[in-house]
Amino acid sequence: MLVRRLRFPKTLSTCSIQASDVHTQHYDVIVVGGGHAGTEAVAAASRVGAKTLLITQKIQTIGALSCNPSLGGVGKGHLVKEIDALDGVMGRAGDWAGIHFSILNRSKGPAVWGPRTQLDRQRYKDFIQSELLSTPRVTILEGSVQDILLTTADPGKPGRHKVYGIRLAHGGGEIHSRSVVLTTGTFLSGALFIGQNTSPGGRIGDLPSCAGLSHTLKEVLGLKVGRLRTGTPPRIIKDTIDFSLTLIHLPDPNPTPFSFINTHTHCTPEEQLPCYLTYTTPGVERVVKESSHLNSHIQEDTKGPRYCPSIESKVLRFPGRQHQVWLEPEGLTSDLMYPQGLSMTMPHEKQLCLIREIPGLQRAKICTPGYGVQYDFVCPTQLFPWLQVKSTQGLFLAGQINGTTGYEEAAAQGLWAGVNAGRTSLSMPPVSLSRTQSYIGVLIDDLIGRGVTEPYRMFTSRAEFRTFLRPDNADLRLTLRGFEELGCVSEQRYNEALRVQMSLNDALSALESIHLSAARWKDKLGDVNISETKSSILNGVEMLQYKDVSFQMLASAFPELSGPYLEFSERLKVEAMYRPHCEKQRREMERMQAEESLYLPQDIDYLTLPVSLSQEVREILDSVRPSTLGAAARLPGITPAAIIHLFNYVHRTKHRNHSKIVGVS
């Protein structure tokens, strides 16, 4: 067999695979697509023990960054930390490929710190490809998928169909598997737009996907499909930019790695590259207006992201304003710059006119023009919380196909779909993540519970329990469960998380055991600003809640605190700060978890259900068909009374028809 396992830093471009070799093979999981969702799905499925095949159109583009050369940020950085805590690839890839690290929101609370980095595109791709090829149980195949293979559903389980593999295009034959994960990104009926030209495709320079898959999802499986759009800016030749007219933006002097198991980044502090800031001018607005009749993308009705709009829609929606443009390096040795904020779809020559209206870019040249993409997505309310299509056993969807935008959002879903595709193919029950425990849980719950009307991006404002779902404690929230329960975390990482947890607990107990009066604390710590009266008694954790008090200060006053705990100084400070608020929210969290763990049967006919529900409530339930009582409770327009009725009905039916009813798994 020609599939070879390559070691980093060998590249995959030399690796060619004959489809005929994999025909006879039977896989546990097939992942279609090699983007951020696909690569995490492959890696996760293999970590839980599934024999996994990745099929991609071009092995070279595995791990490609199609748009911005950056990773993380506020909210997105939280997702990267969680992916890493579940032993995913993205965080470590970022640490390897990062060339400009910074923690955003430093001046706000640690709960919303946003770890972020600029990436070297080539390094990122190399790391991902090498990682996948060194992962046991993974096979990679270059090819195009024509269709998924369907059969009748397993009786007694929900769903009308069951997937059993894929058919390759161009007569490539069938490959069988127990689960299939589709991560087709923008390629599902994708169309590219520049000016008035439209061509089929999901990314410039790549072939369009086969129409068969799109047809099967819509016509055979009857899935509700919507259309979204996105775009990317032109890439500018670095040498043609006059940086003296822009504002230089330096990275953090000491790069902080994303991964909990990395102590440093691949890039040294000195090797890091700066970014540059410039602004749009009235001239930019003029060019947009002059060219709008030549721009079919912006004239379409399809919903684009409100938070990642093209320069055209920014100018049209907020005229007369100055907009920021960040010039970001594409790599250590790349001769291109990425102008963040200038996503556009006007004709090529107009794009050049536009950028030349911007300070620093007056003589700039464009290497590749910006363009828009329109693509199909599957309405994610048709998925279970483990990202399986409700009506089709074994079929999982992850990434932009579910209506999200962003590498991090895609990777998070890919990981979760991979874990579950792997588990179900190995006859283990599927698992779901609570929105009380992770941003990944919030992401998936929002998608399957509310659906999307525009590309979905993660924000910290979406998380109810933001003081608990912090980037610093993602390991404690997820790594332990990932090993003990899900099997997607390595033992080495698990042991490290255990050590961290024990040390933090010990340190906090030690702090709690120190009780002193405010006056005595002042004696011990010197001049700190304590608002309490002199005689009130405070323990060490309460002292650590004061802004001016650091763990190092306490450790130097109490020798028993120094030593093993000093490496956790920052984490202890953050824990102490948020602890009282997390405790306050505990009951609300437990309520949400209880509701999330009550699954609703998928065959309920809400419109004729013989219980007292208003017509309005029936229609909402019928259109969304929530998976759990928790998802139902969060739907707008659902009353507490409706939830109780629903709950009673399902409970009664369960007792009456006990023999007829079987598990979701």
Partner 1 sequence: MHFFSSWRRSAAVIKVSLTHSKHDWFVFGRSLSVRRLLCSVGSEDDTIFALSSGQGRCGVAVVRVSGPASAHAVRSLTRGFPAARTASLRSITHPQTKELLDRGLVLWFPGPGSFTGEDSAEFHIHGGPAVISGVLQALGSLPGLRPAEAGEFTRRAFCAGKLDLTEVEGLGDLIHAETEAQRRQALRQMAGDLGRIYQDWSVRLKRCLAHVEAFIDFSEDELIEDGILNDVDAAVRQLQTDMENHLSDQRRGERLRSGVHVVIAGSTNAGKSSLLNMLTQRPAAIVSATAGTTRDVVEVPLDIGGYPVLLSDTAGLRDTTDSVEQEGVRRARQRVEQADLSLVVVDLTQLPSEPQLVPVFLRGHLKNILEQSSHRQECILILNKSDLISAEHNRSIQASLEQSADVPPACFLSCQTRDGLEDLLTLLQNRLKTLCGDPLIGSPSLTQTRHRTHLQKSVEALHQYHQYKDVDLVLAAEGLRLGLSSLGRITGRVSPEEILDTIFKDFCIGK
Choose one: 15-23, 66-74, 137-145, 551-559; the region binding partner 1 (CB under 8 A).
66-74
652: contact with partner 1 by CB under 8 A:
yes
Close Cβ partners of 560 (under 8 Å, ≥ 6 residues apart): 510
Give the number of C-alpha atoms closer than 13 A to the C-alpha of residue 199, restricted to the C-beta side. 11
248: contact with partner 1 by CB under 8 A:
no
Q: How far is CA 571 from CA 116, 173, 197, 267, 544, in A?
A: 19, 54, 53, 24, 11
> What is the DSSP secondary structure assignment for residue 219, as one 8-state letter?
I
The nearer residue to partner 1, 188 or 440, going by C-beta atoms, is 440
Bridge partners, 383 (sequence order) = 389
- List the one residue from 155, 244, 547, 563 that touches partner 1 (CB under 8 A): 547
Which 142-201 positions form the footprint of partner 1 (CB under 8 A)?
Answer: 158
- Report d(CA 270, CA 255) in Å as an integer: 10
Closest CA to 354 of 274, 258, 278: 278
Q: How far is the CB of 488 from partner 1 (least distance, A)?
A: 15
656: contact with partner 1 by CB under 8 A:
no
- List the one residue from 460, 475, 493, 518 that touches partner 1 (CB under 8 A): 460
Q: How far is the CB of 220 from partner 1 (least distance, A)?
A: 25
520: contact with partner 1 by CB under 8 A:
no
Using CB under 8 A as the binding criterion, the count of chain residues that bind partner 1 stands at 97
- List the one residue from 187, 439, 565, 599 that touches partner 1 (CB under 8 A): 599
The nearer residue to partner 1, 108 or 363, going by C-beta atoms, is 108
13: contact with partner 1 by CB under 8 A:
no
Instruction: Kindly state the helix (H) or strand (E) to which residue 329 belongs, with its residue range.
Output: strand 324-329
> 433 in helix, strand or coil?
coil
- List the one residue from 125, 178, 203, 314 that touches partner 1 (CB under 8 A): 314
The nearer residue to partner 1, 268 or 529, going by C-beta atoms, is 529
640: contact with partner 1 by CB under 8 A:
yes
Binding pattern for the stretch 468-487 against partner 1, x by CB under 8 A and - elsewhere: x-------xx--xx---x--
Instruction: Kindly state the helix (H) or strand (E) to which residue 541 belongs, with its residue range.
Output: helix 540-544
The nearer residue to partner 1, 550 or 556, going by C-beta atoms, is 550
Q: How far is the CB of 306 from partner 1 (least distance, A)?
A: 5
Which 489-518 positions form the footprint of partner 1 (CB under 8 A)?
Answer: 501, 504-505, 508-509
459: contact with partner 1 by CB under 8 A:
yes
The nearer residue to partner 1, 534 or 654, going by C-beta atoms, is 654
- List the one residue from 122, 593, 609, 619 that touches partner 1 (CB under 8 A): 593
Q: How far is the CB of 104 from partner 1 (least distance, A)?
A: 4
282: contact with partner 1 by CB under 8 A:
no
- List the one residue from 189, 340, 413, 479 that touches partner 1 (CB under 8 A): 340
62-76 core/surface letters (b: 16 or more CB in 10 A; e: else) = bbbbbbbbbbbbbbb
- List the one residue from 26, 218, 238, 450 that touches partner 1 (CB under 8 A): 450
Q: How far is the CB of 391 from partner 1 (least distance, A)?
A: 15
173-182 and 395-397 strand pairing: parallel
- List the one residue from 211, 590, 616, 623 that touches partner 1 (CB under 8 A): 590
Q: H helices within 382-437, ranges in order? A: 407-425
- List the one residue from 52, 66, 68, 265 that touches partner 1 (CB under 8 A): 68
> What is the DSSP secondary structure assignment for residue 221, as one 8-state letter?
S
317: contact with partner 1 by CB under 8 A:
yes
The nearer residue to partner 1, 464 or 496, going by C-beta atoms, is 464
14-26 core/surface letters (b: 16 or more CB in 10 A; e: else) = ebebebeebeeee
91: contact with partner 1 by CB under 8 A:
no
- List the one residue from 222, 307, 513, 616 that touches partner 1 (CB under 8 A): 307
The nearer residue to partner 1, 134 or 623, going by C-beta atoms, is 623
Q: Exposed, middle or buried, 1 (CB in 10 Å: 0-12/13-18/19+)?
A: exposed
The C-alpha angle 196, 309, 335, rounded to 5 degrees, equals: 80
281: contact with partner 1 by CB under 8 A:
no
651: contact with partner 1 by CB under 8 A:
yes
- Report d(CA 659, CA 164) in Å as an integer: 28
The nearer residue to partner 1, 348 or 450, going by C-beta atoms, is 450
Bridge partners, 479 (sequence order) = none
The nearer residue to partner 1, 459 or 494, going by C-beta atoms, is 459
Q: How far is the CB of 474 from partner 1 (least distance, A)?
A: 13
- Report d(CA 441, CA 414) in Å as an integer: 13
Instruction: Let me know: does 62 contact 214? Beta carbons within 8 Å.
Output: no
- Report d(CA 481, CA 416) in Å as an integer: 13
Instruction: Kindly state the helix (H) or strand (E) to which residue 167 belongs, with its residue range.
Output: strand 161-168
Instruction: Give one DSSP letter per residue of 485-534, joined into a string.
Output: II--S-HHHHHHHHHHHHHHHHHHHHHHT-EEEHHHHHHHH-S----S-T
Close Cβ partners of 582 (under 8 Å, ≥ 6 residues apart): 465, 467, 468
522: contact with partner 1 by CB under 8 A:
no
Close Cβ partners of 312 (under 8 Å, ≥ 6 residues apart): 288, 292, 295, 298, 344, 345, 346
What torsion, rounded to 10 degrees, do the Cα atoms 75, 79, 81, 84 define? -170
Choose one: 44-52, 180-188, 315-323, 551-559; the region binding partner 1 (CB under 8 A).
315-323
The nearer residue to partner 1, 134 or 461, going by C-beta atoms, is 461
> What is the DSSP secondary structure assignment for residue 210, as one 8-state letter?
P
The nearer residue to partner 1, 197 or 505, going by C-beta atoms, is 505
Choose one: 79-87, 167-175, 323-331, 519-527; the region binding partner 1 (CB under 8 A).
323-331
Choose one: 103-111, 135-143, 218-226, 351-359; the region binding partner 1 (CB under 8 A).
103-111
Placement of tokens 């024509």 in the chain: 146
Which 113-132 positions form the footprint of partner 1 (CB under 8 A)?
Answer: 114
The nearer residue to partner 1, 293 or 587, going by C-beta atoms, is 587
Which 252-271 positions form the footprint of partner 1 (CB under 8 A)?
Answer: none
Instruction: Let me know: does 518 contact 530? Beta carbons within 8 Å.
Output: yes
370: contact with partner 1 by CB under 8 A:
no
